[in-house]
Amino acid sequence: VSDVTNQNVNEALLNEVLASFDDSRNSRLVEILRSAVKHLHAFVEETNLTRDEWMTGIDFLTDTGKKSINSRQEFILLSDTLGVSMLVELVNQKSTVNATDPTVLGPFYIPDSPMMEMNSFIGSDDEGADPLTVTGIVQSTNGDLLGDAIIEVWQVAPNGLYDVQDVDVDAPNYRARFQTCSDGRFSIRTSKPIDYQIPTDGPVGTMLTETGRSSWRPAHIHFRVSCPGHKTLVTHVFDASSRYLESDAVFGVMDSLKLEMSGDEASFDFVLDEE
C-alpha cells in the first residue's frame, strides 16, 4: 500500500468520525469534539504512534484519574504542567487593558474558606516565618472603588505545604476570605510565601522526572477576587526576588504580577473587568 493510499484511508477515517457528530443538537459540544478529534488524529499520524505507546498514554491517564481525590486533583496538575491551564487563562484574557492579569487557579483552591475581619492573620502558626502584610485597593476598570468585593486568599504555610496537603493540619490554614472596606481597601496579614515544589508523588511527577523538568514554583500568594457586576479574577502575586520566576513548573508568571516582598509590607491593587 502506498503512502498516498494510507493517507487517503486515514483521511476517510477522520471524516467518518467528524461526520458521526452531524445529528447532534449541541453545536458547541460538537465544535469542541471535532477539533479535539482532528488534533488527536494529527498527533497520532505526526508521531507515528505505536500501539504500545498509545497504551502507555492510556495507562498514564488512568493513573492520573486514580490519583485524583477531592484534595488532590492530578488532572489539574497535568493541565498546569503542560501549559494548558495558563493558555485557557490567556485566551479568556481580560478585555480591558488596565485590568489585572490572571494566572492559573492551581489544584489547591477550596471554595467557602473562612471569612475573616480585615487585617486578620490568615495562618494559625507562623513557625518563625517573616511576617508580611499585603494591602491594596480593589477597583473596577472604570475607576470605581469596590467596597463589596470578596477576596479569597491562599498560599503555602512556612513548611512549604498547603493545608490540604499537610496530614497534621485538619482545618483551613493560610486560607481565608475578606470583604473589602467601603472604600475598596483591604489589608491581609500573612507570612512571606516561599518557593515550593508541586506534588511529585503521582504520574505528573513521573513525567517531570522522566523529562528532566523542574517541579519548583516561585513563591506566590493566590487571590480570587469577585464582585457583583464584574468578572471574577483568578491570579497570584509573585515574590519578585524568587529564583524560580523564569522556570515556573506551571508557566504561570506574568511580569505585571511580580511584587517586591522584601519588607514586611507590600501593596498590590486588583482591577476587575466589568461584566
Q: Which residues bind ligand BEZ (CB under 6 A)?
A: 77, 80, 104, 106-108, 198, 217, 250
- Closest residue by beta carbon to ligand BEZ: 106
For ligand BEZ, give the closer residue by CB, 77 or 146.
77
Residue 244 to residue 216: CA distance in whole angstroms: 7
Q: What are phi and psi of 7, to 5 degrees?
A: -60, -40
Q: What is the nearest approach in angstroms of ligand BEZ to the Cβ of residue 77?
A: 5
Give me the amino acid identity at 268: F
Render the burial of 9-38: b for 16+ CB within 10 Å, e for the rest.
eeeeebeeebeeeeeeeeeeebeebbeeee
Judge whether 176 and 134 are in contact, CB under 8 Å: no
For ligand BEZ, give the closer residue by CB, 106 or 203.
106
Q: What is the nearest approach in angstroms of ligand BEZ to the Cβ of residue 258?
A: 15
Cell of 148: 463589596
Distances (CA, A) of 24 to 18, 20, 39, 144, 246: 11, 9, 20, 45, 45
Q: What is the nearest approach in angstroms of ligand BEZ to the Cβ of residue 240?
A: 17
Judge whether 121 and 190 are in contact, CB under 8 Å: yes
Judge whether 238 and 218 are in contact, CB under 8 Å: yes
For ligand BEZ, give the closer residue by CB, 204 or 266.
204
Q: What is the nearest approach in angstroms of ligand BEZ to the Cβ of residue 198?
A: 4
For ligand BEZ, give the closer residue by CB, 80 or 163.
80
Q: What is the nearest approach in angstroms of ligand BEZ to the Cβ of residue 168?
A: 19
For ligand BEZ, give the closer residue by CB, 137 or 153.
153
Cell of 258: 511580580
